Structure 1
Amino acid sequence: MGNLCLFSALSGVVLDHGKPVEGARIERSFTWQSNGETGVDETHTDARGSFSLPVIFRRSLLASLLPHEPFIRQTILIHHAGKTYQAWMFNKGEYAENGELGGRPISLVCRLEAEPAHRDGVFGICEPQ
């Protein structure tokens, strides 16, 4: 029974018109469709606007042994100054660590003034670097 990566570790920076945003709340959530599990964690940006969150692994004997199509809905929201920003919306279709961006670690630049858009298969205001 191996580790199944539901959400890879990530790091990023939140900017507002080029200036770091301190104290923004970063809320990460997932829904694992195979068994209906959901999860939420959060962190806050530091004085440089930086944040990071650890990898989320799960173990499942059935998911490790039985053929199925993995589907994990991933969401990251940024809460700042009374507003909520869609930072990352992604549907992960495998269990590989760093599989979201084809093997690259998730490193993001999130611009609060940006309009949400599709970038590298991800929807939101954050740009993978």
Structure 2
Amino acid sequence: MGKMVLFSAVRGTVLQDGKPVAGATIEREFDWAWKSEKGKDSTTTDAAGAFSLPAIVRSSFLGSLLPHEPLVKQTITIIHAGKSHKAWVLFKRDYDDNGELDGKPIVMTCKLGTEPQRRGEVFGICELS
């Protein structure tokens, strides 16, 4: 069976006006084209505004044997005070751990109230460390 990382582990901090945001909901979603599988999980920021989510890993016998182009749509949304903020939108095109950022772990600082923008292949309000 081939190990396929659909979404690498994520760590981050949510800030508003330079201060940590406690209790914000972090929703992570993926849409895996190969298996037509969608998934969602969530967590909440702690008193320091910090959050973490584990890697989402699948395995596929056929996927490890048959040639195909990996494609996983990834989205992270921050929900706070009744508002949704697009933190991360990326189309992952490999199954490597930390493949999203060419081998670097996903560590981000998300500033509520800023406009989402493109940073390389990633779109959202978060700055990557």
- Alignment partner, residue 113 of structure 1: 113
The alpha-carbon deviation at position 93 of structure 1 amounts to 0.2
In the alignment, residue 30 of structure 2 is paired with which amino acid?
F
Partner of 1:13: helix, strand, or coil?
Answer: strand
2:77 partner amino acid: L
> What is aligned with 2:64?
64
Which residue matches 1:2? Answer: 2
Kept in 1, the 8 Å contact 2:2–2:63? The answer is no
Give how far 1:7 is off: 0.1
- TM-score of the aligned structures, taking structure 1 as reference length: 0.99
Please state whether the residue corresponding to 1:41 is helix, strand or coil: strand
Q: Which runs of 5+ in 2 are unaligned?
A: none
Task: Please tell me the residue identity of whatever aligns with 2:117.
Answer: A
Distance 1:18 1:111 in 2: 8
Identity %: 57
TM-score by length of 2: 0.99
Q: 2:28 corresponds to which letter in structure 1?
A: R
Superposition CA RMSD, Å: 0.5
Matches within 5 A, 1:33-112: 33-112=33-112
- State the 4+ residue runs in structure 1 displaced beyond 6 angstroms: none
Residues of 2 paired with 1:101 and 1:9: CA distance? 12
Q: Distance in 1 between matches of 2:40 and 2:34?
A: 17
Residue 27 (structure 1) aligned with residue 23 (structure 2)? no
C-alpha distance in 2 between matches for 1:46 and 1:70: 34
Contact kept? 1:120, 1:128, Cα under 8 Å: no
- Runs of 5+ in structure 1 lacking a partner? none
